[in-house]
Structure 1
């Protein structure tokens, strides 16, 4: 058999739509502590051995994984029959499968392609909606008092100018910042982490490299960054494709690069997670 069929049926059919570690963890997080305590008390004598308990735990984890995977696939417009899924597992354990190994492999290959196509279609639809909503948000923000729009499309409001010289591309800056999507969903926040970050100014997304030059040490700026100055049509985890990003940034310090090293990144230099290139 090909490698596709050498992995488990579960991993083959479900992994394309949901990360396994998330699927296993999510249902447990959904229960409150009281429910878990009650369940444990009610079932403390349900197992006669550690092997029985381990087998049940494995089955419960697989069931939760499948349930969450089915829900994720339904979001893509792919609705599997839960009864047939369970029947397939039971028949496999009983050695009485209704499909040959070759049929199973072929069907799973077709299913994987179908899920990928559905995911691609959804991503394109979401990206289009993100672009339209982002433009509307930027247009509204640009009309607010005190905002400016640069030739690149960056829209910003200097809330505090700061003092001294503005940073250069080769400088290392120290900042505190918060990043959100236009709906207010937060994806990065150095304040929450409890420490500012340092990074070389030319090592981040274009919106940051440009925007931080409009303030000086001690300054504060609000930036609304269009997709082409951020992550464009690709996106990153937590930031969908064609997203407009909103950043509130406080420039705490500027560290000029050594003259002999102005074109080389500093060793061990950090960059903000949500603003890396």
Structure 2
């Protein structure tokens, strides 16, 4: 992903100025087209959050965008700064991951303190909320589940429940937290599974382009219902779950 940052930043530059201009003229979008453009601006801002820019840096960014769109001469050549742009993203991402991991440690400790919760050797926190029956799945099986994935602030980033359709996927291909946690469940059961970053998306997270935006170093919480187990079956929708 870092190798594509320079190219994507160029695309975001135009969109950011466009969204800023429109926002200044119409603070409250009314038509569907206005709402679409407004949503585009929000999407651009979400991508730029990867850089964790300060207010002063945002001003510099806008100044650079304005200068570039006006074809003004500048001593700062964007092509000469491609590597530094990538390095800026890497360093900001690492700093953000460190802060997120610190907060996630407290989040995991709070989860482990809940009644009935158990912390495994890997650091996963498992809390059964409804007992199931039958044989638990193995790594070789497919599982059919309903789930809701939440960030530590409680915001939802993915949910089969909201889509109204269970997910069916091979357990071995999921993030380690799911592969381990689902094997603790039985069909018909429900559980809350809290995942440390190392068992989820690590210090990389999920970029905004994925549609899910998970911060680097983030611990995650999943509310899962194991509907059924397909022994050694092939998943019908392998891309629909974590």
What is the TM-score normalised by the length of structure 1?
0.66
Match of 2:229 in 1: 254
- TM-superposed CA distance for 1:124, in Å, is 1.1
Contiguous gaps of at least 5 residues in structure 1: 1-11, 40-59, 259-265
Q: Distance in 1 between matches of 2:121 and 2:52?
A: 43
Contiguous gaps of at least 5 residues in structure 2: 208-212
Cα contact 1:160–1:215 (8 A) shared by 2: no
Q: Distance in 1 between matches of 2:53 and 2:16?
A: 15
Cα contact 1:200–1:269 (8 A) shared by 2: no
| Secondary structure of the structure 1 residue equivalent to 2:224 | strand
| Secondary structure of the structure 1 residue equivalent to 2:9 | coil
Distance 1:87 1:268, change over 3 A: closer
| Secondary structure of the structure 2 residue equivalent to 1:214 | coil
Match of 1:270 in 2: 238
Q: Does 1:204 align with 2:174?
A: yes
What is the TM-score normalised by the length of structure 2?
0.74
Distance 1:164 1:22, change over 3 A: farther
Q: Distance in 2 between matches of 1:124 and 1:17?
A: 23
Match of 2:164 in 1: 194
From 65, 76, 80, the counterpart of 2:60: 80
Match of 1:242 in 2: 217
Cα contact 2:14–2:65 (8 A) shared by 1: no
- TM-superposed CA distance for 1:118, in Å, is 2.5
Cα contact 1:172–1:256 (8 A) shared by 2: yes
| Secondary structure of the structure 1 residue equivalent to 2:95 | helix
Q: Distance in 2 between matches of 1:20 and 1:253?
A: 47
Q: Distance in 2 between matches of 1:81 and 1:166?
A: 53
| Secondary structure of the structure 2 residue equivalent to 1:224 | strand
From 114, 119, 125, the counterpart of 1:149: 119
**TM-align CA RMSD:** 3.8
Q: Which has the larger radius of gyration?
A: 1
Match of 1:120 in 2: 90
- TM-superposed CA distance for 1:145, in Å, is 1.0
Which structure has more relative contact order (CA 8 Å, sep 6+)? It is 2
Match of 1:168 in 2: 138
Q: Distance in 1 between matches of 2:230 and 2:45?
A: 48
